Amino acid sequence: RLSTIDPQRTAAMQPIALQARDGWPLHGYLTVPPGSDGKNLPMVVSIHGGPFGSADLWGYHSEVQLLAAQGYAVLQVNFRGSGNYGRAHEYAGYRQWGQLMQDDVTDATRWAIEQGHADPQRICIYGASYGAYSALMGAAKEPALYHCAAGYVGVYDLPLMYKRGDIARNRSGQNYLDEVMGNSNLEA
């Protein structure tokens, strides 16, 4: 029950703002363990699912609080494609799986290191659904950055999802996948 949670024992969620390598504005949240100075911590980069239209929001998040209670900083970034930042931000993620969307996550992770929040030798990336895809793609593209990766209920086989997944079973689903992923992005 949420009524049994003591707010004094929860980790504070701090809004963050940074720029991606190409200057695109990014926002998200950094949560640090209660009582911590927020410096040189082991960090989990938590990637939301979706990806389009979904977003990490300000508020209580049980997984984030669990990780923070165990001594981890938790970074959540609303990469291109995320909702709540306008159409341009969402559409900027179209056809960018494994590309600009992934770069945004990498840039936010490097920002946390540069700000002194994260120990660069103790960073894990994880998520569910699209977040799982991004976690494994992050580990593949940046093996020196992420020392751990975990995904659950993930989207791991893009060509299979495109050809035989439940989204593609009807014409509107096929049109959606063509618009947001494109055929040329299936190998990313």
Residues 47 and 140 occupy one common structural domain? yes
Residues 30 and 52 occupy one common structural domain? yes
What pLDDT, on a 0 to 100 scale, did the predictor assign at position 47?
98
What pLDDT, on a 0 to 100 scale, did the predictor assign at position 122?
99
Reading the block at residue 69, the tokens are 């209670």
What pLDDT, on a 0 to 100 scale, did the predictor assign at position 175?
83
What is the extent of the structural domain holding 188? 158-188
Residues 121 and 35 occupy one common structural domain? yes
128 close to 153: Cβ distance less than 8 angstroms: yes
The torsion angles phi and psi of 111, rounded to 5 degrees, stand at: -60, -45
Question: Residue 42 is part of a domain; what is its CATH number?
Answer: 3.40.50.1820
Residues 111 and 163 occupy one common structural domain? no
Positive/negative CA dihedral, 60, 154, 52, 117: positive
pTM for this one?
Answer: 0.91
In this prediction, the residues of the chain whose per-residue pLDDT falls under 50 are 188
How many domains does the chain fold into?
2
Residues 117 and 73 occupy one common structural domain? yes
Strand runs labelled E in 48-172:
73-78, 118-128, 148-152
Residues 144 and 178 occupy one common structural domain? no
What pLDDT, on a 0 to 100 scale, did the predictor assign at position 172?
85
Residues 34 and 85 occupy one common structural domain? yes
What pLDDT, on a 0 to 100 scale, did the predictor assign at position 187?
54
What pLDDT, on a 0 to 100 scale, did the predictor assign at position 28?
99
What pLDDT, on a 0 to 100 scale, did the predictor assign at position 5?
77
29 close to 17: Cβ distance less than 8 angstroms: no
What pLDDT, on a 0 to 100 scale, did the predictor assign at position 85?
96
Residues 84 and 145 occupy one common structural domain? yes
Residues 73 and 148 occupy one common structural domain? yes
Residues 108 and 41 occupy one common structural domain? yes
25 close to 19: Cβ distance less than 8 angstroms: yes
